[in-house]
Amino acid sequence: MSRRTWVLINSAVLLLCLLGLWQAVVSLKHLPAYMLPGPTLVAVAIEERFPSLMKSLLITAEEAGGGLLASIIVGMTVAMVFAQWTWLRQLVYPYTILLQTVPIVAVAPLIINWVGPGLIAVSTVTFVICLAPIIANTTQGLISVDDNLIHLFVMHKATPAQILFKLRLPNSLPNLFTGIRISAGISVIGGLTGELFAGSAQVGEGGLGYAITYANNQMETSYMFALVLAATLLGFSFFFIVMFLEWMALHNWHESKRADVGE
Smallest distance, another protein to C-beta of residue 247, A: 14
Our CB check for another protein shows the closer of 203 and 261 to be 261
> Is 209 buried (19+), middle (13-18) or exposed (0-12) by CB count in 10 A?
buried
Which part of the chain contacts another protein (CB under 8 A), choosing from 6-14, 38-46, 146-154, 179-187? 146-154
Q: How far apart are alpha carbons 91 and 154 in whole angstroms?
A: 26
Q: How far apart are alpha carbons 235 and 60 in whole angstroms?
A: 10
Smallest distance, another protein to C-beta of residue 137, A: 17
DSSP string, 162-222: HIIIIIIHHHHHHHHHHHHHHHHHHHHHHHHHHHHHH--SSTT-S-HHHHHHHHHHTT-HH
Alpha carbons within 13 angstroms on the beta-carbon side of residue 205 total 4
The count of chain residues that interact with another protein, using the rule CB under 8 A, is: 22
Our CB check for another protein shows the closer of 162 and 232 to be 162
Q: Does residue 90 interact with another protein by CB under 8 A? A: no
Q: Does residue 173 interact with another protein by CB under 8 A? A: yes
Q: Does residue 161 interact with another protein by CB under 8 A? A: no
Q: How far apart are alpha carbons 187 and 75 in whole angstroms?
A: 14
Q: Does residue 156 interact with another protein by CB under 8 A? A: yes
Q: Does residue 167 interact with another protein by CB under 8 A? A: yes
Q: Does residue 148 interact with another protein by CB under 8 A? A: yes
Judged by CB under 8 A, the residue of 6, 20, 151, 244 near another protein is: 151
Give residues in contact with another protein (CB under 8 A).
146, 148-149, 151-158, 162, 166-167, 170-171, 173, 252-255, 258
